[in-house]
Amino acid sequence: MSMPNPVGALSFFEDLHPPKSRFQEDVLDGLAREQKSIPPKHFYDARGSALFDDITDTEDYYVTRTELGILDSIADEIAAKAGSHAVVIEPGSGSSVKIDKLLNALDHPAGYVGLDISKEHLITACEDLAGRFSGLSVGAICADFTQPVRLNDLPIPDGRRLVFFPGSTIGNFEPGGAKLLLETIRDWLRPGDALLIGADRVKSSAVLKNAYDDANGVTAAFNLNLLARINRELDGTIDTDAFDHEAIWNAEAARVEMHLVAKHDTEFSVSGRNFKMKAAETIHTENSHKFTIQRFSELAESAGLTVKQNWSDADGYFTLYWLECA
């Protein structure tokens, strides 16, 4: 059994050497397509991460405060379901507020394990958490959580595993990718273990569009920062003033799409390659899929997981699901 760490220190760190970022390859490939696109994971340089934190504080972006409200309201139920001495595993570097709420709700959790592809960010986040929970065994695994990770080969503390995946990050994946990710997480679970996952709900198109195009323009700055990052890191010559942010509700696909729209014909280069865009042509930067409870339950079942319980806010904007192996 892993011992509690000294204040601010990690019980263990495992580097599984995930592949380095394919930023240049993804940008060049995406800009060469008929429908230009760049994966949303590339939003999160230092500036992009700070802007996303600002988004979560805007009045229009309901997701974070709604999920936190649900966590507050079900704290006792989560503690009862998880039991004493659970081990929380969190794929991705999540909100410190959310993980603190969960750990404070649990009955003497035995440990916390963070998984993330960014080594420096992961270590900092886990060391910060270890400093806040001095009696907790805190470990970190540098890995791409979308790929298989053999947790049983790693020094995970003993105890019931509760994988925590909040924020509706699952909605950023295409349906096939979401199923594969849930299958990957399912393989981390043993009998009695569980996944606590958040998923945003289908709702009024006006509410959704406002959430992804807030009145203060923070989401627009977040989207446009991707172009500024390309200029900084890939020798880009993009005129960022030539683009507007746009959020579209695609009802057929049940998703909000974010695009960067060319205001007029424009030309630029990235890493020595030349590109042209016509007025109104777009770069598709993100999808955020929304779910009904039935549709999410069907997705979970397709990945070998069963919804044992779910909790929603009074407005039906967001849902947390407790999943176990089918």
Structure confidence by residue, pLDDT tens digits, 74-101:
999 999 999 999 999 999 876 789 999 9
- pLDDT tier at 255 (50, 70, 90 boundaries)? very high
What confidence score (pLDDT) does residue 49 get?
87
- What whole-number distance in Å separates Cα of residue 77 and Cα of residue 99? 16
Tell me, yes or no, whether 101 lies in a domain. Answer: yes
Domain that holds residue 321: 60-203+291-325
- What whole-number distance in Å separates Cα of residue 250 and Cα of residue 260? 16
Structure confidence by residue, pLDDT tens digits, 206-227:
999 999 999 999 999 999 999 9
Q: Are residues 174 and 299 in the same domain?
A: yes
Q: Are residues 257 and 146 in the same domain?
A: no
Check residue 193 and report its DSSP letter.
-
Tell me, yes or no, whether 260 lies in a domain. Answer: yes
Q: Are residues 70 and 164 in the same domain?
A: yes
Q: Are residues 116 and 230 in the same domain?
A: no
What integer is the mean pLDDT of 140-166? 93
Pairing of strands 305-312, 194-200: unpaired
Q: Are residues 296 and 163 in the same domain?
A: yes
What confidence score (pLDDT) does residue 46 get?
87
Average pLDDT, the chain: 95
Q: Are residues 160 and 277 in the same domain?
A: no
- Identify the CATH number of the domain in which residue 129 sits: 3.40.50.150
What integer is the mean pLDDT of 143-162? 92
Question: Which range among 14-23, 28-37, 170-179, 248-257 shows the weakest confidence by mean pLDDT?
Answer: 14-23
Phi-psi region of 24 (alpha: psi -120 to 50; beta: other; left: phi over 0): alpha
Q: Are residues 156 and 266 in the same domain?
A: no
Name the domain count of the chain. Answer: 2
Q: Are residues 194 and 275 in the same domain?
A: no
Q: 85-123 in b/e burial notation, b at 16+ Cβ within 10 A?
A: bbbbbbbbbbeeebbebbbebbeebbbbbbbbbbeebbb
Tell me, yes or no, whether 297 lies in a domain. Answer: yes
Tell me, yes or no, whether 6 lies in a domain. Answer: no
What integer is the mean pLDDT of 32-49? 94
pLDDT higher than threshold 60 for residue 259: yes
What confidence score (pLDDT) does residue 137 get?
96
Percent of the chain with pLDDT over 90: 90
Tell me, yes or no, whether 222 lies in a domain. Answer: yes
What confidence score (pLDDT) does residue 6 get?
55
pLDDT higher than threshold 60 for residue 1: no
What confidence score (pLDDT) does residue 121 get?
86
- pLDDT tier at 5 (50, 70, 90 boundaries)? low
- pTM value > 0.85: yes
Tell me, yes or no, whether 225 lies in a domain. Answer: yes
Q: Are residues 168 and 69 in the same domain?
A: yes
What confidence score (pLDDT) does residue 21 get?
80
Tell me, yes or no, whether 18 lies in a domain. Answer: no
Q: Are residues 141 and 226 in the same domain?
A: no
Q: Say which residue, 96 or 267, is predicted with more confidence.
A: 267
- pLDDT tier at 102 (50, 70, 90 boundaries)? very high
Q: Are residues 231 and 279 in the same domain?
A: yes
Tell me, yes or no, whether 3 lies in a domain. Answer: no
Pairing of strands 161-165, 194-200: parallel
- What whole-number distance in Å separates Cα of residue 324 and Cα of residue 148? 18
Q: Are residues 154 and 176 in the same domain?
A: yes
